Amino acid sequence: MQPLPQNPTFRLDGKTALVTGAGRGLGLAFSAALAQAGAHVIAISRTESEISELVQRVKQSGGSAEAIVLDVADTAATRTVLSKREPVDVLVNNAGANRPKPILEITERDYDAVSNLNMRALYFLTQTVVRKLISERRAGSVINISSQMGHVGLANRTLYCSTKHAVEGFSKALAVELAPFGIRVNSIAPTFIETPMTRPILSDPEFRAEALRRIPLGRVGQPEDLIGALLYLASDSSLLVTGTSLRVDGGYTAM
């Protein structure tokens, strides 16, 4: 008789997860969720006060976490800090930036600021992490926080869309390259999520109305809406999943 299958688990006991941009918004929610699932969380941010408070709150709730104050856009410093540490099992590349403007108003400074954080920093931080995993013959999960704008286009978002399309391409190519090592690479592509970064633009009634018109489920997201996707990709429940983009977008890209 065929045995009944066992339900998968989203637990991360005994694993270490590294989250960039962990001080606020999605990064804070991701760090808390991973800790609640049993992972030891390494929270990275440029702002010491934010991640110190996060770590304190995680510990008070019975979780395990530590803070590293680091600007991941400084690739040399990031490489130095992370190469000295033990390998991480789960990498969440969450740090990102956006400067929505018409293309005629984008400056080289805008371009460098957004592309350096959204793609360059992500690329070389991932390189450092996977180098450690490969050298120690350990499997792992890389989760790149992309966007629905990595799949579509929108006016005044040429710069942001360019970087997020790059993240999607990077995720797919790296998934193929790292598959022989047991390292999975996936992305999460959210719709508009209410965070400190998006709140100013979502408070514009005209923009919010247009965003809601494009989202079939009829609402913008909250950070908690992404936790299920995060834990799925971080855990052994998704051991056969790599090179995939989970679109948590309310149906935005289905239109």
Q: Look up 160 and say whether it is catalytic.
A: yes
How far is Cα 144 from Cα 91, in angstroms, rounded to an integer?
Answer: 8
SS3 of 244, please?
A: coil
Closest C-alpha to 43, from 61, 21, 63, 12: 21
15, 164, 172, 232: which is the annotated catalytic residue? 164
Eight-state DSSP code of residue 187: E
How far is Cα 196 from Cα 91, in angstroms, rounded to an integer?
Answer: 22
How far is Cα 158 from Cα 110, in angstroms, rounded to an integer?
Answer: 12
84, 123, 132, 160: which is the annotated catalytic residue? 160
**CA-CA-CA-CA torsion sign (186, 181, 177, 27):** positive
How far is Cα 234 from Cα 38, in angstroms, rounded to an integer?
Answer: 12
Instruction: Give catalytic residues, as residue numbers.
Output: 160, 164
